[in-house]
Amino acid sequence: MSRRLENIKPERVFYYFEEISKIPRCSFHEEKISNYLAEFGKRQGLETIQDESLNVIIRKPGTPGYENSPTVILQGHMDMVCEKEDSYEHDFSKDPLDLKVEGDFLSAEGTTLGADNGIAVAMCLAILESKDISHPPLEVLITSNEESGMDGAKGLDPKNINGKILINIDSEEEGKALVSCAGGERDLVTIPIQWQSLDNKEDYMMYSIKTSGLQGGHSGMEIDKGRGNANKIIARVLAFIKNECDFKLASIEGGSKTNAIPRNGLALVALQREDEESFLREVKKLEGQIQNELKVADPDFELAVEKVKNKVEKVFTDDSFNRVIAALTLIPTGVQSMSMDMEGLVESSNNMGIVKTKDDAVTIESAIRSSHQSLKANISMKIRIIANMVNGKWESHGAYPAWELKEKSDIRNIFKKVYKEQFGKELEIAAIHAGLECGLFAEKFGGGIDMISFGPNMYGVHSPQEKLSISSTQRTYELLSNVLKEIK
């Protein structure tokens, strides 16, 4: 059977990327990919550990001449953010990704590609398999559920890790090495709702209001791009229309991942026939206003309004509607502060990622990020106060620490030296607003661990537009091989 990525270099890296692209690996559903990785290690005759959190650790001795060199941890995560286009039929629990190559770019038809962080896994497997790459003793650590709470890193037993140098392969810009990242947490607001029956429901018309054309993206990497948040847009539209015509809200939904800027929002409303004209007019006016605001960041944004044939039996009471819209309007979203220490670095942000209507409540899930614990706590406090104002419940989970800059770093110096020799220019050293597991590793392993993060060029991560540069992957893999050769 022919392979989509056959003869694309580095061949073994893309061989394994294609292999893992056949295996389900959405966050919280990593059993099959974890088993695959554990079986791979055993087939290679290497010491392999698969722990209760589904993390996989594979140890490989140093090559001749490197037996007594310091042990290096190569680290990535096995899960991926599973997002797809609305119209595309794909079941992430069983369907392989439909990989496609267009020029220098690798992507997946209709879905996220999972290069975040599948390319790290593929590089690690290629190195573990290799017979011709010189390297020190290796501990390949592939963690589970990084994308939705870093549960694998949290559940990792530090006794299973011996290395004091860690190379994280989970950044997305070639030529830039990361040495610090933001911490974060997830906040959940639950707003109890009451329902009412529609009197004379035959007099009501049902309409759906839906966002389309939003790019979405990674809530850390793209939060400063000014892209539209579907949940905020739907709430805004409902709030303004309510001033002009009477309608009843039957449901509101949006987003699917807290760490992805929501692209899709949907509200179902009931209105009487005499309000139809003003309703459609107001939606069109708001669409034009928002299109003008997003003409640069999200030029394809549209509001799709459709008449729905099915009638609903119940709708929100006015009090429930007001409390839900108040929360959606007031909860802060987007960049909250910029760093004064590092130009262009987002310091703190919040992403209102998921809104759901349930039987007795509307839930709002957000992802908070900050370089400072105090600012993260301040955003969380604001969300908690808003929850109290609307008689809702607030809770926080999935907290992870920031990775603080280490003044002295041998692995950073090695990367800078090798990069300059390979490319004839300086390696950029930077911090990132997105969360990396390095913060947890620093906390878990203590200050003695020396870490750096790097990776090839990726674009549109956490969205169906995700793509990976093939040539950048080749250069990045060569850089990693040369760095390992230097650690003797």
Question: Is 11 a known active-site residue?
Answer: no
Q: From the candidates 30, 83, 146, 450, give the one annotated as an active-site residue.
A: 146
Residue 301 has which token pair?
């944004």
Spacing of C-alpha 462 from chain mean position: 5
Residue 483 pLDDT > 70: yes
- pLDDT (mean) for 173-179: 96
Q: Measured between alpha carbons, how far is 401 from 184 in angstroms, rounded to an integer?
A: 7
Q: What is the pLDDT of residue 203?
A: 84
In the numeric block, the tokens 């906390």 are attached to 443
Helix (H, G, I), strand (E, B) or coil at 339: coil
Q: How confident is the model at residue 28 (pLDDT cuts 50, 70, 90)?
A: very high
Contact 148, 28 (CB under 8 A): yes
User: How many other CB atoms sit within 10 Å of the CB of residue 68?
Assistant: 9
Q: What is the pLDDT of residue 311?
A: 82
The whole-chain average pLDDT of the chain stands at 96
Q: What is the pLDDT of residue 138?
A: 98
Report pLDDT digits (tens) over 267-316. 999 999 899 999 999 999 999 999 999 999 999 999 999 999 888 889 99
Report pLDDT digits (tens) over 386-434. 999 999 999 999 899 999 888 899 999 999 999 999 999 999 999 999 8
Report pLDDT digits (tens) over 131-168. 999 999 999 999 999 998 899 999 999 999 999 999 99
Contact 50, 58 (CB under 8 A): no
Q: pTM for the full model?
A: 0.81
Beta bridge partners of 208: 268, 306
User: How many other CB atoms sit within 10 Å of the CB of residue 61?
Assistant: 14
- pLDDT (mean) for 255-277: 94
Percentage of residues in the chain with pLDDT exceeding 70?
Answer: 100
Q: How far apart are the first and last CA of the chain?
A: 41
Residue 217 has which token pair?
């993206």
Do the strands 72-77 and 165-168 form a parallel or antiparallel pair, or are they unpaired? parallel
Question: Is 79 a known active-site residue?
Answer: yes
Q: How buried is 271 (Cβ within 10 angstroms: 0-12 exposed, 13-18 middle, 19+ buried)?
A: buried
Q: What is the CA radius of gyration of the chain?
A: 24
Q: From the candidates 79, 83, 173, 466, give the one annotated as an active-site residue.
A: 79
Helix (H, G, I), strand (E, B) or coil at 323: helix
Q: How confident is the model at residue 11 (pLDDT cuts 50, 70, 90)?
A: very high
Phi, psi of 212 (to 5 degrees): -150, 160
What residue ranges define each of the domains in the chain, with the CATH number in brackets?
11-182+402-486 (3.40.630.10), 192-363 (3.30.70.360)
Q: Is the peptide bond before 10 cis (omega within 30 degrees of 0)?
A: yes
Residue 44 pLDDT > 90: yes
